[in-house]
Amino acid sequence: MLPSLSTPADGRPRAVLVGIQLPDLSDAQVASSLDELARLCKTLGLDPVARISQRRRSTGAPTVLGAGKLRELARLTGGAGVVPSPARSRGGRRGTEDESDGDDDAIQTAEELAVEAVDDDADELADGDDPTVRAGVVVFDHDLTPTQLRNLEGATGAQVLDRSTVILHIFQRHARSREARAQVEIAALKYMAPRLRATGATRDRQQGGIGVRGGAGESALELDRRRVRDRIAELERELVSLEREASGRRERRDARTVSLVGYTNAGKSTLMRALTGADVLVEDRLFATLDTTVRALHPATVPRVLVSDTVGFVDRLPHDLVASFRSTLAEARDAELLLHVVDASDPLYLERMAVTRRVLAELDVGKQPELLVLNKADRLDAEACEALTEQHPEGIVVSANRRSDVERLHARIVAWLERAMVDASLFVPYRTPRVLHVIHERARVLCETHEDEGTRVTVRAPAAVIEELRAAAEA
């Protein structure tokens, strides 16, 4: 369903990034968002070679950009810089003329207007790039309508993607499990269904009907959309089945559960590896982890503590993709404690925290207690770390690459979980040695003494477990 990306013979597809600065966005926010878009594009396999941005009051114009910026973009892609005549509206005017050429919608300085008047905007190529190299892909940092996509592709002569399509492509490539693949396909189908285009041939192909002028049942486009709906329904049934199978396979008896959540590339997988000693994929790229991974906390505790690593979030994550990963985040929803991992070295880390909490709220996750983990402290100086500690006294400042920090976090997790435990004394007669073995498996034994008739143990465990063990010992 997603449009395929064509790769040039001489390497990765080159891309121009386009950002729109709305009135409520600062220069720093736009720059940060474009930086993130560049990383998304690199993760997808694109080579961002240029950036263009423009101040606009909205993103609703037929070509999004003003005429001058559109021509600037077209010079980077080898396009004409105007929407081809077949895209004329009913009034006969071309799409680029309908958008007021930036006079009403664009917020431009006098200098920008003067530059456009002489049609001499500078190409914003990265240092070292050959200005004669043309980009074959244009990526917008927001969602585009089908009409905008068609107009922009006609004006630039390049493949045009929006932010959501890039994210969906990445998820599609990185999904490994059957569950993740099904969820990504659902999201892609829901996103692309309204963007199915009716070609001339599609409009002409009709199924015959009785008493209807021109013959007419469903057009090929309508058939395609119905197939999409049927496929989504099929995948949703498959997900329900997979979720039941997964819940049947899980053995979580007495295990305490902790889940890592946070913005993508915050270091969750690195922290997961450090806390559990598991061989978890760790890569410096966005969305390296899509499938939930569950491992036991190491060094091991009694009862066991299970740690789950979940998919990272990103700003403006497609809504259907968020909804489709509801079952993947079941581990986080059922966890007793959430470890909210934040890249503390990111200047906009507070905004990343807000995005994570907003998405978790949408998924009805995050009602349980949260421990804020300010990660990547090794990238900060001592003064910055101290400031973070003062600003977030409820959190813990760590580096997943420092063993001492990981040990502090391990102790903090265990201490928090043990707050809900109780101490109790149990007597196990010698005739039931199996019960003593179960006690060692399900509770922490603080003291053990052997008496004439049996063994007396002092244990620490959740109250419900204590009652079960007491009943077994007295049986």
pLDDT bucket at 168, cuts 50 / 70 / 90: confident
* Tens-place pLDDT, residues 106-153: 443 333 333 333 333 333 333 334 444 689 999 999 999 889 999 999
Could you tell me if 265 and 284 are in contact, meaning their C-beta atoms sit under 8 angstroms apart? yes
Lowest mean pLDDT among 112-116, 173-177, 181-185: 112-116
User: Helix and strand tally (H, E) in the chain?
Assistant: 17, 13
What is the per-residue pLDDT for 401? 93
Neighbours of 257 (CB within 10 A): 19
Confidence class of residue 290 from pLDDT cuts 50, 70 and 90? low
Determine the CATH number of domain 421-474: 3.30.70
- pTM value? 0.73
pLDDT for 323 beyond 90 = no
* Residues 71-86 as b or e (16 or more Cβ within 10 Å = b): bbbbbbbebebbbbee
- State pLDDT tens for residues 426-435: 999 998 889 9
Question: Does residue 321 carry a pLDDT above 60?
Answer: yes
Domain positions in the chain = 14-169, 175-198+216-249, 256-418, 421-474
pLDDT > 60? residue 252: no
- Return the C-alpha torsion angle 28, 32, 34, 40, nearest 10: 180
Give the separation between CA 237 and CA 239, rounded to whole angstroms: 5
pLDDT of residue 99: 39
User: Does 14-169 match 256-418 in CATH topology?
Assistant: yes
Joined together, the tokens standing for residue 385 give 């770390």
Query: Is residue 419 within a helix (H) or strand (E), and if so which, with residue range?
Result: none
Q: Which CATH number fits domain 256-418: 3.40.50.620, 3.40.50.300, 3.90.1570.10, 3.20.20.70?
A: 3.40.50.300
Q: Is the pLDDT of residue 294 over 70?
A: yes
**Cα–Cα distance for residue pair 389/395, rounded to 1 Å:** 7
What radius of gyration do the chain's Cα atoms show? 29
Tens-place pLDDT, residues 213-223:
444 445 777 88
Fold of domain 14-169: Rossmann fold (3.40.50)
Distance CA 174, CA 180 (A): 9
For residue range 78-90, what is the model confidence (pLDDT) as tens digits?
999 999 875 444 4
List all residues 6 or more positions away from 57 whose beta carbon is below 8 Å from its beta carbon: 22, 23, 105, 106, 107
| 110 or 471, greater pLDDT | 471
Q: How confident is the model at residue 448 (pLDDT cuts 50, 70, 90)?
A: very high
| pLDDT score of 260 more than 80 | yes
